[in-house]
Amino acid sequence: MKIGKQFNTLNTSEYIHYIDNYKKYTDFNTLGLYRSICENDKLNLADKIQIRDYANKVFEKTFNFYQLKDPLTYFNLISLGEEMTVADESKVWDDIKKNQEKILTDKKIKHRNFGDYSKHNCGYDDCRYKGLMIRQGSALAEGSMHFNSDKDSFGATNKSKRVKKQRKNISKIINDELDDLIL
């Protein structure tokens, strides 16, 4: 069976019906469901919060994974109905970042190309690369995922070059020191 409607046109009872019977529908999309909760103009704030909480009971693991896949939607949903200061928003984003790192390590995922992070999104509407799938670490990867615990490959490269230079110059250094001792 197919739903045949967009989620952002549903009312509260229809949301609950589709969430309860999500296995029956072949075109059911949990990310679309969560995005539509924020976009739906028919619902008031209390209904949105009720639907979000009900959906989280059914799709808890999926919702938590959206921290990694679509962090903006996750942020919009958890901050629904809350008055947040700039410091509060910053704290929530820091928590999301910590949870992203935890999810990646728990699932032993090496790559970081998920959802929004796998497509070019520079913010310009006329960009010819907009929406283009990108390789992790490429020049087009604007908002790549990075953490404080990541190793700095630039520093490691510099250290490698410095050690190599010292290794090559070791005989010169020894000869200079011997010359100084002899004189």
Q: Name which residue leads in pLDDT, 146 or 59.
A: 59
User: 131-141, pLDDT tens digit by residue?
Assistant: 666 666 565 55
pTM recorded for the entire structure: 0.64
- What's the whole-number mean pLDDT along residues 70-75? 86
User: 96-129, pLDDT tens digit by residue?
Assistant: 888 888 887 787 876 666 665 666 666 677 877 6
What is the residue extent of each domain of the chain?
Answer: 1-108, 111-150, 151-183
The average confidence (pLDDT) of the chain is 79
What is the 3 state secondary structure string of 94-161? HHHHHHHHHHHHHCCCCCCCCHHHHECCCCCCCCCCCCCECCCCCCCCCCCCCCCCCCCHHHHHHHHH
